[in-house]
Copies of this chain bind each other. A is one copy, B any other.
Amino acid sequence: MSTQTSAQSPPVRPGTASDPRRVEMFSDGVFAIAATLLVLDIEVPDARDGASLWSALAGLWPSYAAHVVTFLVIGIIWANHHTVFGYIARVDRLLICLNLLLLLVVSALPWPTALVAEHLGGGGADAHAAAAVFSGFMMAQAVVFMLFWLYVTRTGHLFHAHVDNAHARAMRLKFGLGLAVYPLAVALAFVSAPATLALHGLLAVYYAANPIWIPSIDEA
């Protein structure tokens, strides 16, 4: 375990391929763009059909709700990603691949969000289908983040020397428990689409209040 080595021992040359800085930059780009592209999914009503613009805007509530929930989810994933990379001293090829897989899911989130925005208001089978697809994507990002976390905590070989890998491994259970909620969210989609969206909003708030955190060896 690298947690025994001193802070100076892993000689990562700054700017080389094992420097985590550029992986963070690319990831931050994808997180920021995915979060900002969400706005394109909100329809701009032209309201030329006699109804007032206010009523047209009111009818777009599923778009607003889906937008806020997905923005929060992306924000929380980003914050956790940011925290984990704060513990990482170097990256290897497998970490880069797991990170790309995570970014693949995150960058796709505007699509299920648009699907929910389009179908939530209509209700019926299509609203349930859209909510189920949305829940599936949320579960996918949680599973991929878990894989990412399992990999970096397996031996802690990529961590800074001051990171306590024993504590990092202990956080696995906490994360694993969170995963159990997602199949329920998929099931809930077939009962109530709005409740499903609300559940994902609550999950985001829960994760915001319960961040990943690992004590340093010198703090523990």
> What are the interface flags for A128-161 relative to B under an 8 Å C-beta threshold, 1 for contact and 0 otherwise?
0110010000000000000000000000000010
Number of copies: 4
A178 at the interface (CB under 8 A from B): no
**B111 and A44 within 8 A (CB):** yes
Contacts A68-B104, A111-B39 given; indicate if A86 touches B15 (C-beta within 8 A): yes
Partner of A118, one of B30, B46, B111: B46
CA of A115 to CA of B32, assembled, Å: 23
> What are the interface flags for A24-57 relative to B under an 8 Å C-beta threshold, 1 for contact and 0 otherwise?
1110111111111111111010110000111001
**B108 and A53 within 8 A (CB):** no
A100 at the interface (CB under 8 A from B): yes
11 pairs of residues in contact across A and B, judged by CB atoms under 8 Å = A15-B21, A16-B160, A29-B29, A29-B31, A34-B36, A35-B107, A36-B37, A42-B108, A53-B126, A79-B93, A79-B100
A119 at the interface (CB under 8 A from B): yes
* A219 smallest CB distance to B (angstroms): 11
The residues in A between 81 and 98 inclusive whose CB is less than 8 angstroms from any CB of B are 82-83, 85-87, 93, 96-97
The residues in A between 59 and 96 inclusive whose CB is less than 8 angstroms from any CB of B are 67-68, 71-72, 75, 78-79, 82-83, 85-87, 93, 96
CA of A107 to CA of B37, assembled, Å: 8
**A22 and B126 within 8 A (CB):** no
CA of A131 to CA of B85, assembled, Å: 39
CA of A126 to CA of B47, assembled, Å: 8
With both beta carbons as reference points, the residue of chain B lying nearest to A25 in the complex is identified as: B28
Chain B residues near A17: list those with CB within 8 A.
82-83, 86-87
* A168 smallest CB distance to B (angstroms): 13
A194 at the interface (CB under 8 A from B): no
With both beta carbons as reference points, the residue of chain B lying nearest to A209 in the complex is identified as: B93
**A78 and B40 within 8 A (CB):** no
**B29 and A125 within 8 A (CB):** no
Chain B residues near A71: list those with CB within 8 A.
104, 107
